[in-house]
Structures are given as C-alpha cells and as structure tokens.
Amino acid sequence: MVRFRLFGFPTRIEGTALVLAALLLAFGLRDGTPGSAVLMVVLGAGSILAHELGHAFMARAFRLQPIEMALHGFGGLTRHRRPNRPWKELAVTLAGPAAGLGLAAVAFGVAIVAPGQARSVATQLGTLNLIWSVFNLLPVYPMDGGMALSATLRMVAPALALPVTYGAGLTLSVGMVGLALWAGEILIVLVLGTFVVQNATQLHAWWASRAID
C-alpha cells in the first residue's frame, strides 16, 4: 500500500490497484507494447484521482471532514462524513462524474490543437474519462448514478428510495452481465457480478425489514 497527501487529502493506493497495474504492465511487456501499458496505467490512475478529487473537494466545501481517498483494483473511493441533507449528498455524488466530464472536455480541447503524439494521448484521456463518467452515472448502486438516484428519491419520495434504487440497480446490473457474457468479456462479468450481488442483498434486506415491521 502506498500513502500520500493530494491537495491536503490523505490518499492511499491499495494493494489490489498495484496488482492490477503490475498485470497491465506485464501484459504490455509480453505483447511488446510496454509504452502503451505504462500510458494506460498513468491515464487510468490520473483519471480516477480526478474523479475522486471531485467528490473530495465538494465534501470539503460542505465541511464533511475527515475526508480520504483511495485507489483500488475496481476504481476509487472517497470517504467522508455523511451529509445531513440529501441535496448535499447529491451534490457530492455528482461532483465526481462532473470532474471526469470536465477533464474529458479539456482533453478533447487540447487534442484539437495539439500535434502528433500529444493529440493521441489527449484523445485517449478524453475518451477514457467520457466513457467512465457516463458509465458511472448509470443508476446502479454503488456507482455514483445509483447513489444519486437514492439521494434524489429521498428528497421527493423517501419511502421509495431504497426499493427503487436497489431494484433499478439489480435490473440494470443483470442486464449488463448478460451483455458482457454475450460479448465474451469475462472480467467485466466478474465486476458487474458484484453489483448484482450487492443490489440483490440490499433489496432482500429491505424486503425482510418490511416483513418484520
């Protein structure tokens, strides 16, 4: 595990992220493309940090300390004190994808005027952040889209917040698993499978609590 501070936020890179980076570099060496592998790791890590910084800066604006960021094998995570209002939670949640989309816009702007290799790198950075930010906004718990859906529903229809959030997350994650299986993307199936389990577990817990009441 690697620990450091970024813009004052305690940040750590967990072992799973380091293992993933090592695997990407190993595959790059095997395929004879070490430069591309290093670039992928750097752009990926930088994009995740930009996303998490969006959450962290918004959490700091709402004084939700302590705040800390982490990079792990499945992406990133920002921990902070829970906001006391759903609209604040919505703002903190959406700040991550907003930071990614902002970085994508800047990267594509650079790509327009940059020459040669710099244009290619800027285009890759923009594409990576655009795809990741849009995907992350899908209403699937525990991604930002699912968290945003929950916060929004708690403002307008609190009783529906949990069942709708987990029901939508379960439905969409099962559908995405089916698409990934059809495409033969086994690694993506494993990642999305964790979303299926989490949403199914949370939905079952909600249903069980209703039965007890």
pLDDT tens digits, residue range 95-141?
999 999 999 999 999 999 988 888 999 999 999 999 999 999 999 99
160, amino acid identity: L
Give the Cβ contact number of residue 131 at 10 Å: 12
- Do 190 and 181 meet the contact criterion of CB atoms below 8 Å apart? no
Q: What is the pTM of this model?
A: 0.89
What is the Cα–Cα distance from 51 to 101, expressed in whole angstroms? Answer: 9
Q: Is the pLDDT of residue 31 over 80?
A: no
**19: Cβ contacts below 8 Å, ≥ 6 apart:** 73
d(CA 45, CA 14): 12
